[in-house]
Structure 1
Amino acid sequence: MRAMLPSAVLLAVVLGGCKPPEPAPQPVTTASMAEPPPAAQQDDAQQDDAQPAPPVAISQASFLGYGDMRLGETVEQARAAWGGELNGLPGQDSSCYYLTPKWVARPADFAFMIEDGRFVRYDVGTDKETAPGGGKVGMSATELQAMYGGALASAPHKYVEGGQYLSIDASGVAPSKLVFEVDAAGIVTAWRVGLLPQADYVEGCS
């Protein structure tokens, strides 16, 4: 049969009008259908694969406390929950003082208030921390009100003319309160979360 195959092919050519047989169509593959992306797109795709997006930072601030530290617990419990070094000592004439992590250069940026031997409040003056609900230093009062559904109560600032305090209670989550300090330009300069009455101390421990 193999010896007769060329003759059969020749006969088919003669009968077909001496036209050579058309080549068999090549199978279409996925690779042949898809156009390769431009070099720039390939580079971007490789960079995306090599450099995944960084994870979104999760705030440790809550109406209950900060991280594992819980408002109302003793200073010993708060120190243990923090797990790192905290600087600060009570004064001779006051039971209220602040503890700050050793990496804090300016106590006004981040500090824990201790009163009568208990952790009662924490103060934030930097945009590196996010308040419960999403508020931050640097936001406008208008942005805050929109973020908190217009539920922030307003009161005049005691020391900044044209400034204000915007605050909201934890509403059953905890016996605590969130207070934003807003300057005359309507920008948040600091915020704090604490038990009452300590959350309303406008001078801190002073």
Structure 2
Amino acid sequence: MNMWSMIDEFDEFLNNPLQYIISYIRDIPKLIVTVFFSWIIFVLYFIYIHPTQNVTSKSLINFDSIGEIKIGMTVQRAEEVSRLQLLPITSSGLINKGCYYLEPQTGSGLERVWFMVIKDAIATIEVSRNYSLHTANGAQVGQSIDEVKAIYAKNLVTKDNTLVYTPAKKKFRIVFETERGHIIGYRVGRLPEVDYANGCFDYKSKP
């Protein structure tokens, strides 16, 4: 507002102060309505356009899931329930037709977490050198082999440089990769894909 406008406003107030005050009071409901609807739009934006992710570094990993993302889900469904964008690892689709990997969007807190996808369904969830994530039983990268053996007890067997856990649902596994007596990564998922030591290199597409 420039000086002349301010002078005009002041003259209007002096000429009819009551009317001037009433005109401002009348504008208050409009201001309240404007603020209210602006707040509603702001909330809806964060719920529907920029939603809070449901799968985080605090989510637990089970033999068939990480948080809300379940083995066997389509990629679209996994993105919907997790509120995450799953992005293709560019080179992975060149390894073997029909098998590729996705990773969560940057900034999700899920670094070095990968999803093997076969025929648009998630087959395995793989964790490599991520020290934040835990399995539902409490195992994590960095633990010793003895610690993981104590957690899974009789349901754990040693196979080459891995520890393999078989849950009650026999078609699933958790495979812990070991190096120098410690866990360096693990993968969970369904058979036979979870047994692929070389990931998509081991996948053979069926005609």
Asked if the contact 1:97–1:114 (Cα under 8 Å) also holds between the matched residues in 2, the reply is yes
Alignment of 1:1-206 (within 5 A): 58-88=58-88, 91=93, 93-103=96-106, 109-125=112-128, 126-156=130-160, 164-172=161-169, 175-183=171-179, 185-206=180-201
Over 3 Å counting, the alpha-carbon distance change for 1:67 and 1:108 in structure 2 is closer
Please give the alpha-carbon distance, in whole angstroms, between the structure 1 residues aligned to 2:111 and 2:84: 19
Please give the alpha-carbon distance, in whole angstroms, between the structure 2 residues aligned to 1:123 and 1:104: 18
Q: Which structure has the bigger radius of gyration? A: 1
Please give the alpha-carbon distance, in whole angstroms, between the structure 1 residues aligned to 2:172 and 2:62: 10
Over 3 Å counting, the alpha-carbon distance change for 1:150 and 1:141 in structure 2 is farther
- Secondary structure class of the residue paired with 2:187: strand
What per-residue deviation string (whole Å, max 9, x for no partner) do you get for residues 61-100 of structure 1? 1223111111112222122222122110672651111111
Long gaps (5+) in structure 1: 1-56, 157-163
Structure holding more helix per residue: 2
- Give the TM-score of the pair, scaled to structure 2: 0.61
What per-residue deviation string (whole Å, max 9, x for no partner) do you get for residues 25-74 of structure 1? xxxxxxxxxxxxxxxxxxxxxxxxxxxxxxxx853312231111111122
Asked if the contact 1:108–1:123 (Cα under 8 Å) also holds between the matched residues in 2, the reply is no
Over 3 Å counting, the alpha-carbon distance change for 1:129 and 1:153 in structure 2 is same
Please give the alpha-carbon distance, in whole angstroms, between the structure 1 residues aligned to 2:199 and 2:136: 20
Please give the alpha-carbon distance, in whole angstroms, between the structure 1 residues aligned to 2:102 and 2:149: 31
- Give the TM-score of the pair, scaled to structure 1: 0.61
Over 3 Å counting, the alpha-carbon distance change for 1:115 and 1:91 in structure 2 is same
Please give the alpha-carbon distance, in whole angstroms, between the structure 2 residues aligned to 1:58 and 1:78: 17
Please give the alpha-carbon distance, in whole angstroms, between the structure 2 residues aligned to 1:60 and 1:186: 23
Please give the alpha-carbon distance, in whole angstroms, between the structure 2 residues aligned to 1:101 and 1:59: 14
Please give the alpha-carbon distance, in whole angstroms, between the structure 1 residues aligned to 2:154 and 2:131: 22
Please give the alpha-carbon distance, in whole angstroms, between the structure 2 residues aligned to 1:91 and 1:114: 10
Long gaps (5+) in structure 2: 1-56, 202-207
- Secondary structure class of the residue paired with 2:101: strand
Over 3 Å counting, the alpha-carbon distance change for 1:58 and 1:108 in structure 2 is closer
- TM-superposed deviation, 1:130: 0.6
Over 6 Å off, 4+ runs: none
Paired residues, number = 140
Over 3 Å counting, the alpha-carbon distance change for 1:104 and 1:95 in structure 2 is farther
- TM-superposed deviation, 1:134: 1.2
Identical-pair percentage: 28
